[in-house]
Structure 1
């Protein structure tokens, strides 16, 4: 990898087309097929019971086995303990772990070593003060997402974006994945304005909380057109 992405673990995907496209919350093998056909570089499998996109271990294994070798597999968890992660890694054999809880920098480093895989860490953003945490994770790909609404039972932006102008001073040599409120209609502006390493979408390509093939295709087309 070259440029900002050179700071990442070499096992992160580095295709010719930037940014990478991650479609998270895949819940069926046929939807994995649709995401891959649309042009996804990564698909996310959620293992967190409060999420409407939660997958039991057998379901995660079935989707991972179905898609393996055709796309980068990412498993998403929230403050999972070692036993949960051991079971998930054994079942899905993901390429990448994505952590969306309050995992400390030490915990992130511990898990990267324990499972010998790259790790992405989500960071909730609502103000400039939230971005101070980036220095705590110097070699980790950060997933910049909106903070959840007050009283929410799960992390993430719940379909909302944060103020992208907060990233005006973002270090030019620091790659990041942009999440939160992205849709086929908004992602092009994000790509042009922020030049992220990757974009991460879930509810923005759904109809009634189920991934929609037409929306996934439109999302990927918007990304590629904006990236030129």
Structure 2
């Protein structure tokens, strides 16, 4: 069930902020009215595709911040595991140098509420509660506006790394529509023509492209 167009689920969990400090009750509510949020999930600390994505967001962080966007990562690891990984140098497979918040969803409630948990609790034939599937999150990415509403969401399977440039493009597209009242056609990017959401607007755009 898509979260697009709905209020983002509550986030209240520990997080590591500034790459070194544990905050016990981290919430996305701190950004309401002030910033857009790119909230992304990755499967697990100390893995292989995940650090490439985490560093890719860090490399583009200044561009996101210029657009009034807070970048926040999340996995089902503990805050202590996040902190340990943040102390491993990049050239050794670590994420040292990353300074945006990383939420620790050890209870798996945040991933579950956002619909990206790659498994679920269920009862076996003996009536015992067990976890079926992978106890990690898929690679979900959620673009949340300043009112706390999810405006865009994508979910990748575990082996498929995401495109951070595409996330940045979607932020720009959302802000363009909010500022100009236009809609963004296929393959729109900053500086390209958008169009009015009318039959004449579509016809005019198609006639020029």
Task: Report the structure, 1 or 2, having the larger helix content.
Answer: 1
Structure (1 or 2) with the larger CA radius of gyration: 2
Q: TM-score with structure 2 length normalisation?
A: 0.37
Higher share in strand: 2
